[in-house]
Chains A and B, each alone.
Chain A
Amino acid sequence: AQSVTQLGSHVSVSEGALVLLRCNYSSSVPPYLFWYVQYPNQGLQLLLKYTTGATLVKGINGFEAEFKKSETSFHLTKPSAHMSDAAEYFCAVSDQAGTALIFGKGTTLSVSS
């Protein structure tokens, strides 16, 4: 069975600092991996996805993630945090197109000035 573990339910950074949100997954087949962002009382918006090919994936708003098969990880990074990045972030996995995504429990990112 697939699963996702997000390390750290809450991450705090200063504006301009590096953002690192950690995600480890479990999958018996090559996975599809996703990062979503959620602002309060809203739906989820896709930040980026990994399907096949290049292991470093660039997304919207300056975020990127690297798929590391040997470490079963898909950590999300952004070189310089902005106040508008404060939100909840979810990592998700699926094993094939059309199957439901399995989500981690989420990480709340706080950004201070």
Chain B
Amino acid sequence: DGGITQSPKYLFRKEGQNVTLSCEQNLNHDAMYWYRQDPGQGLRLIYYSQIVNDFQKGDIAEGYSVSREKKESFPLTVTSAQKNPTAFYLCASSFPTGGTVEAFFGQGTRLTVV
């Protein structure tokens, strides 16, 4: 079945460590996105990519980095510079060239700093 796979579902990190969240899609979508979700804050955009080897910062990119080397993959690295990384992270994709304007979401990764 086609979809978006985020791994792992739960992730624990010690302070000062970098950690990478995986996002893979087999929907042949061009655009991919990373959002951060905190209680009562909704979803806030971290980074997005509309094409391979290109990406743009969202509203809260500080302390995060991404790469888009393959169409199917858009990993997010949470660096030690991110002051408060504990949150629920959601990856999404869309297919604007195919006429799909909505975003499809993965099941999320819950990151906890210990």
Contact = CB atoms under 8 A, between A and B. Distances in A.
Nearest to B97: A98
A51 B105 CA distance: 19
Nearest to B34: A100
Interface string A95-113: 0111011111110000000
Interface stretch (B37-45, B61-69, B76-84): B37-45
A44 B94 CA distance: 13
Interface string A22-49: 0000000000101010000111111001
Contacts of A96: 96
A103 B110 contact: no
Interface in B44-96: 44-45, 48, 50, 58, 88, 90, 92, 94, 96
Sort chain B's interface into a size bin. 20 to 34
B50 A44 contact: no
A102 B90 CA distance: 14
B interface, over-half SS = strand
B15 interface: no
A73 interface: no
Interface string A66-82: 00000000000000000
Given A90-B43, A98-B50, A49 B110 contact: no
A100 B101 CA distance: 10
Contacts of A45: 105
Interface of B: 4, 6, 30-31, 33, 35, 40-45, 48, 50, 58, 88, 90, 92, 94, 96-97, 99-108, 110
